Structure 1
């Protein structure tokens, strides 16, 4: 076992309240300083978790996030502020975390977490904290952690409800695939963008993820292996569900068939469509050129009415995604239908649905209104 790092005079003062806690003390604080955590995402869950892990004195924190700060993030992603809108989330997070604790080493990975880089990234850290917002990335973090025998601290949120657990088969628990064996059908689970989330909720769940991470690194308490902690904000209640290892699990079961992070689930896109099911798309530059040329286009906006404040594409007809099935009679079968939403996810599902419903010329507007606004800025 490598020798634990020492604490400076400033660190002893900084962590004074930790040093007096049984189970932590000086040795525990030195253990935290010698530990490392990889955080997937610096959004709603990653924000509170990163703040508390940095404040706790985790020696090295890796942050993965290729995105920029959007104003709609600020309602819940407390790492970021108004002055960082439009700028890198990683740089925003790093600036804030350095203010919280300059003793923490930050490693910034401005990449998407993919099957190509997952094993390399996960191998560099002791624990992975999964703060992502889509199923393929959850499968990927789970699979990489299983193959490398690293604990994966899982959290998820939906409106007023949240969940937390630790997936670590090498410590005696099940894996994520034991709970969810395969991808849900495209569109069956709405994103936070579509369903909404109370801004305080990820603060609760992300903080619990930070707590479980610290417990794992210190080797204290009982991590929720085989236990899914469920929080209901409306009833102010917690309950635990038992998660059992599935002997038939394709990853951690008795006869596994998954031996790589490149597989059906991890290679799907965030809307849960797998490779081979790509939908036709048009970029906003081409769309703008066609509008300027005076083409008679049939553009459909599948966002919610309240989202129109973020901008509109000229001539677009508002048909929220949930109402699309009942409004098919309003759409021409023999014309190209250009579908957009906020960023391309909902419109992609709308295009897939339209193809299945007899509208073969439906096309996705890649990037949605976000890309359109960026083009026009």
Structure 2
């Protein structure tokens, strides 16, 4: 597949990078990335994936745009209030880059549909803000051997990690089980600074791009935390021993996805 003259011009700043070049840009154009949640994290991730020329982008979200979303969910605008987020996000992506094929899923992920949704994608981005969804995404990606980026934000803090099959711990290796209901406040309850979503969501897109290109060091085996008030990033090494994990260990006890293992999802970031 040869790049068109327009593509060479559009992606010229990528092509100048020795780590990318024409070959790397072709990899991006041939790649498929799924973003679960078109909210605070999903918005910048989707926009930078689209701008980078990722050829197929999937968006899974069942919510509609609400005025309270607009403080951080930059892929949506005031005129989109009331519209399904997948439609608003798709329109923004199509306006940004016509190279991108956008596939939408207007539904919440569940044990019934997640394996069918993720099966055709090269990389998954978790843009949700509830533990039910995060553990479900983790367990499904481990079972399907799909790499994914986890992230979470609250108030002025954020964190992210990347799972690559057979190359490091999964989300459940680190956090084991969802916390008890109401033990951790949601962004709806505790608030979140809007730009935090931009910082962390952009890093998720960067992890996906690096994975596709096969360059640099991914956040595999590390949790990256960010405090916006002190402007401090910390890379925290994660346990290397994963044999006892309930889903990715040597003797997994979670071998089938069941919604009874999770609390129902409440909202997107």
TM interval, short-chain normalised: over 0.9
**In the TM superposition, what are the counterparts of 1:63-142 in structure 2 within 5 Å?**
63-142=59-138
Q: SS state of the match for residue 255, structure 1?
A: coil
- Give CA-to-partner distance per residue, 1:346-367, whole Å, 9 cap, x none: xxxxxxxxxxxxxxxxxxxxxx
Q: SS state of the match for residue 177, structure 2?
A: coil
Is this contact kept in 2: 1:167–1:176, CA < 8 A? Answer: yes
Output the TM-score relative to the length of structure 2. Answer: 0.96
Q: Distance in 1 between matches of 2:112 and 2:172?
A: 20
Structure 2 partner of 1:203: 198
- Give CA-to-partner distance per residue, 1:65-85, whole Å, 9 cap, x none: 111000000000000000011
Q: Distance in 2 between matches of 1:117 and 1:29?
A: 31
Structure 2 partner of 1:324: none
- Give CA-to-partner distance per residue, 1:19-63, whole Å, 9 cap, x none: 010110000000000100000010000000000000000000000
Q: Distance in 2 between matches of 1:114 and 1:263?
A: 7
Is this contact kept in 2: 1:182–1:265, CA < 8 A? Answer: no
Structure 2 partner of 1:161: 157
Output the TM-score relative to the length of structure 1. Answer: 0.69
Q: SS state of the match for residue 116, structure 2?
A: helix
Is this contact kept in 1: 2:34–2:118, CA < 8 A? Answer: yes
Q: 1:225 aligns with which of 196, 220, 225?
A: 220
**In the TM superposition, what are the counterparts of 1:246-257 in structure 2 within 5 Å?**
246-257=242-253
Aligned-pair RMSD on alpha carbons?
1.2
Q: SS state of the match for residue 40, structure 2?
A: coil
Q: Distance in 1 between matches of 2:264 and 2:103?
A: 26
- Give CA-to-partner distance per residue, 1:258-283, whole Å, 9 cap, x none: 112226434x2136xxxxxxxxxxxx
Q: Distance in 1 between matches of 2:31 and 2:62?
A: 24
Q: Distance in 2 between matches of 1:161 and 1:257?
A: 33
Q: SS state of the match for residue 77, structure 1?
A: coil
- Give CA-to-partner distance per residue, 1:104-134, whole Å, 9 cap, x none: 0000111111110010111010000000111
Q: SS state of the match for residue 194, structure 2?
A: coil
**In the TM superposition, what are the counterparts of 1:177-216 in structure 2 within 5 Å?**
177-216=172-211
Q: 1:149 aligns with which of 145, 148, 165?
A: 145
Q: 1:22 to 1:52 in 2, by over 3 A?
A: same
Does residue 1:57 correspond to 2:48, yes or no? no
Q: Distance in 2 between matches of 1:149 and 1:255?
A: 16
Query: Which structure 2 segments of 5+ residues have no match?
Result: none
Is this contact kept in 2: 1:183–1:265, CA < 8 A? Answer: no
Query: Which structure 1 segments of 5+ residues have no match?
Result: 272-342, 344-377
Q: Distance in 2 between matches of 1:70 and 1:6?
A: 42
Q: How many residues align?
A: 266
Is this contact kept in 1: 2:222–2:235, CA < 8 A? Answer: yes
Q: Distance in 1 between matches of 2:247 and 2:2?
A: 40
Q: Distance in 2 between matches of 1:148 and 1:248?
A: 19
